[in-house]
A and B are shown apart, each in its own frame.
Chain A
Amino acid sequence: MTSYIIRRLFMGVVVIFIVTVIVFLFIRLLPGDPLTIYLNKTDMQQLTEEQLQELRVKFGLEKSLPMQYIDWMAGLFKGDMGQSIYYDIDVRILMTERMPVTLYLGALAFVISGVLGIAFGVICALKRGTWLDTLVTLLANIGVTMPSFWVGIILIYILSVKAGWLPVSGYISPFEDFWESTRRIIMPVTCLALFPVASLTRLTRSSMLEVIQQDYIRTAWSKGLKERLIVSRHTIKNALIPVITVIGVQVAFIFGGSVLIESVFNINGIGRLATQAVQNQDYQVVQAITLIMAIMVVIANLIVDISYGWLDPRIRYE
């Protein structure tokens, strides 16, 4: 078990390394120059070539690509994520400011989607063929097909603009004003959780229906156990094995979704920061955000793989 985790962590490091190379190169492939954007912002277009060169040196942009990459890596090992070109501050400051927002929304969406998705799936499977199953399955099918940002815009239009029940956009910390904060995150969290809930519902339902037909469920019935016990003890644990895989993937999906949703709802998390940083070609910020997301996804997948062993005794880590 320990050696398995160590091996997986090592593989995770390799994956993260590859991600850093790719994002480092791709952001630099974009046409344009971060300095131009920075200068446009600061109204300093009339710089001499010497002054420009000075700025390049300040941000380390005068070096060759491999050198820049090595600089970035060396910085990371010292806990330094580099300097944002656009904001002209330490990337760490940006991260510590923006990260909690995204983590809070993402964690809520993750928990809600796990609980609701599995609950809906189980209920649908048990009530198979009834109007409830038909309705929830239909909604789940709609849910997986609708783009979340579009749902976000529709929700804003209906709930905020027309009905006036919820604030249009923005975010405040729950520590500042819990109720106001909750009112503001209802719509973004709904949008983030929409696809995960829908896809988990569908998967849990089909997995449950498959398990229900297994011989060992018939054996359980032949023992005279009550339906509730058969579902809770014999069915759900088996049905969750494939579901857990997808729950791991949802972590990546929710981070990806936050990029869109935070823009739609004007929330200053790292998702929106990522969008802006790409537009501004703020190399270090894009790199830092991608790196953090990659690390989280790798860790989530590791947790998923370990939890298989808890669900299914046939799995051995060797």
Chain B
Amino acid sequence: MSLLSIENLKTYFHTYRGLVKAVDGVSFNVDEKEIVGLVGESGCGKSVSMLSVLQLISSPPGEIVGGKVMFEGQDLLKYRSKSNMMNSIRGAKIAMIFQEPMTSLNPVLTIGRQLTESMEVHLKMTPQMARERAVELLRLVGIPDAKRRLDAYPHQFSGGMRQRMMIGIALSCNPKILIADEPTTAVDVTTQAQLLELMRDMVDRFNTALIIVTHNLGVVARYAERIYVMYSGRIVESGLADEIFLEPRHPYTIGLLKCVPQLGETRQERRLEPIKGLPPNLINMPPNCAFLPRCNYAIDRCNLEPWPSLKHVGGRHYVACFREILEKS
């Protein structure tokens, strides 16, 4: 049994222009100590689906309309967002790191305050104990002169250091799962690599499962054991990293891989091919496959029938497509 399994999750946003089905029937599972990648372009619902797990969707306009989030035998969606149950999960069992290091720390509270508070709440530590552990955490995430830094404020830290601190906060209570929502999007490339290495070392050390949400295929290729590809609110393909990279079966995944440069390739050997068109507007979507307007493999059936569900194609590989495409890449 998996540690966390999301079943048919649906999160909709009620906007003035219509209903946005940001997450429309996503199923997903994570095993203990596993590193899972969730890939998709901006606006495909990957962040929203992860925020829904912890019920951090601002409501209104957002609403989790259906599905299950099974964690340790409990359906978390049965509890209200502000309930004690959810508070005892968030930060303690499932922790999260956000995309924007510049805005996700409170500007008027010290680093120490923001590091120690979840330990005081969840682990019932005294302020002194929490402070000592905070120093240790800051050292672990690679912030020098940790003791003195506790009294600094976030604006005195660089983006990379803030994200390191976020990792420290997230792991402070030794959670079972760490959700990293585009953790490296807002920092520069050298820092990205350091942060990802750090995150991997840390989850390894703390025996934590890691979900990396990203639009960067390079990131998942290097770190994720299993990958989910998301498009327009749904999972279109999932499988082990090798299955996805070596035998992509969904036209969207194939398209994604074609527009990523590979090391050692010259421009003459292979041109990068962008996916034509734009991601669909999520308001008032037609029932058939959302990728259809951009798809090179479309057949008549795609126009006639609603979006296909995921089907098993071997190993741990699942794909949501009518065509049986097999492209070796």
Contact = CB atoms under 8 A, between A and B. Distances in A.
Interface stretch (B66-74, B116-124, B306-314): B116-124
Contacts of B103: 214-216
Contacts of A223: 90-91, 95, 117-118, 121, 169
A203 to B, nearest CB: 18
B153 interface: yes
A57 B6 CA distance: 94
B98 A219 contact: yes
Given A238-B108, A311-B108, A312-B107, A213 B58 contact: yes
A63 interface: no
Contacts of A314: 107, 153, 155
Nearest to A128: B60
Nearest to B103: A215
Contacts of A221: 54, 56, 90
A7 interface: no
A225 interface: yes
B106 A220 contact: yes
Contacts of A227: 82
Given A221-B90, A222-B90, A216 B155 contact: no
B118 A224 contact: yes
A230 B105 CA distance: 13
A233 interface: yes
Interface residues of B, number: 31
A162 interface: no
A66 interface: no
Interface residues of A, number: 23
Contacts of A222: 54, 56, 90-91, 95-96, 98
Contacts of B118: 223-225
A226 interface: yes
Given A234-B106, A314-B107, A225 B56 contact: no
Interface of A: 213-216, 218-227, 229, 233-234, 237-238, 311-314
Interface of B: 54, 56, 58, 82, 86-92, 95-96, 98, 100, 103-109, 113, 117-118, 121-122, 153, 155, 166, 169
14 contacts: A214-B103, A215-B103, A221-B54, A221-B56, A222-B91, A222-B95, A223-B117, A224-B118, A225-B118, A226-B87, A226-B121, A229-B117, A233-B113, A312-B107
